Amino acid sequence: MQTDILVSEVGPRDGLQSIKTVMPTEAKKAWIAAEAAAGVREIEVGSFVPAKLLPQLADTAEIVAFAKTIPGLTVAVLVPNLKGAEAALAAGADKITLPLSVSESHSRANLRRSHDQVIEEAQAIAAAIRALPVERRPHFEGSLSTVFGCTIEGAIPLRQILALAERLMAAGCDEVGLSDTTGYADPKAVREMVTAVRGVVGDKALTGIHLHNTRGLGLANVLAALEMGLDMVDSSLGGIGGCPFAPGASGNIVTEDLVFMLQAMDLRTGIDLKKLLKVRKVLAEALPGEPLYGFTPDAGLPLGFVPEQSTRKLETA
């Protein structure tokens, strides 16, 4: 098993988009700065969608500009289409993710686009990226969402998923990602999906996964993904977002619990866990009344646990 795991924080995008409260821009900046200072190396800071649809993320361009000033941080954003990607390129995002729901009904319901239309957007985005000088080109990921099943169609035929993975790569994505939008995954399904998708795109073009804890299997699924050799895992501070259904169960995987598991297993994350646990305060203050999830923050670290120290030197506290 590899010893370096990239924890990609998605709370400022995935978390905030499913919370009605609009977090003030200054609070978002404080959150991102504090997490980066704790050693988090990649943060999905927002989504370039019309403010009318998601007023919570209307300040994404300003947030990207701020996050870009933090040394060593990969600033990731989600885009639904070429228009969003153009805004992301103008803002200077380091990484752009275009979701493609492998369920066509879900794709039409969520993005109002057929598979063919999303692939066309991917081609147009890739062309816009190629038009930039090499040093300004962001990493472009096509994320296969509802890949472990969809609430409208149930299980999606594997051949359809694999064809879409191939089409995203052919359209010009650098990489595809797997996203368990509905929280249907289990460790066996993760192993099989990683094997199947890597079979068509190659090992290097699938390194990351976005899992949910909807049915309590989030970290079990992470472990399966790590054992398959993936080394990039999405999670959300305080487990916010990702459509939590059951009381006590987060939607997104909780960053604090994920980092605890990784460090307990002697895997390096570059994150100072004690510092990370303190970042929750920023969230609690900016989102009053919003439930924050996670077991490690409540239970504390085990006696004798030696947390990994952050290797990054940042002046922000």
**Site size with Zn ion, rule: CB under 5 A:** 3
Question: Which of 14, 59 has the CB closer to Zn ion?
Answer: 14
Extended strands (E) in the chain? 6-9, 42-47, 74-78, 95-101, 139-145, 175-179, 208-210, 232-235
Beta carbon of residue 245, minimum distance to Zn ion (angstroms, whole number): 13
Q: What is the DSSP letter of 290?
A: -
Q: What is the DSSP letter of 192?
A: H
Candidate list 146, 250, 252, 263; residue touching Zn ion; CB under 5 A: 252
- Binders of Zn ion among residues 84 to 143 (CB under 5 A) are none
Rounded to 10 deg, the angle between the 25-37 and 60-67 helix axes is 30
Rounded (5°) CA angle 209-210-212: 135
Q: Which stretch binds Zn ion (CB under 5 A): 127-135, 167-175, 248-256, 300-308?
A: 248-256
Q: Which stretch binds Zn ion (CB under 5 A): 42-50, 101-109, 250-258, 283-291?
A: 250-258
CA distances from 76 to 11, 88, 146, 161, 217 (A): 12, 9, 21, 24, 26
Beta carbon of residue 144, minimum distance to Zn ion (angstroms, whole number): 13
Beta carbon of residue 164, minimum distance to Zn ion (angstroms, whole number): 19
Beta carbon of residue 242, minimum distance to Zn ion (angstroms, whole number): 3
Q: Which stretch binds Zn ion (CB under 5 A): 25-33, 216-224, 242-250, 271-279?
A: 242-250
Tell which residue, 183, 142, 182, has the closest CA to residue 163.
142
For the question of residue 150 being annotated catalytic, the response is no
Tell which residue, 118, 117, 66, has the closest CA to residue 93.
66
Question: Which of 97, 252 has the CB closer to Zn ion?
Answer: 252
Q: Which stretch binds Zn ion (CB under 5 A): 112-120, 151-159, 168-176, 235-243?
A: 235-243
Catalytic residue among 27, 243, 264, 314: 243
Give every CB contact of residue 63 below 8 A, 6+ residues apart in sequence. 12, 25, 28, 29, 32, 45, 46
Tell which residue, 81, 116, 120, has the closest CA to residue 99.
81
Place of tokens 């059951």: 246
Residue nearest to Zn ion (CB): 242
> Does residue 242 belong to the site contacting Zn ion (CB under 5 A)?
yes
The contact pattern for Zn ion, residues 6-25, with x = CB under 5 A and - = no contact, is --------x-----------
Please list the active-site residues.
243
Binding site for Zn ion (CB under 5 A): 14, 242, 252
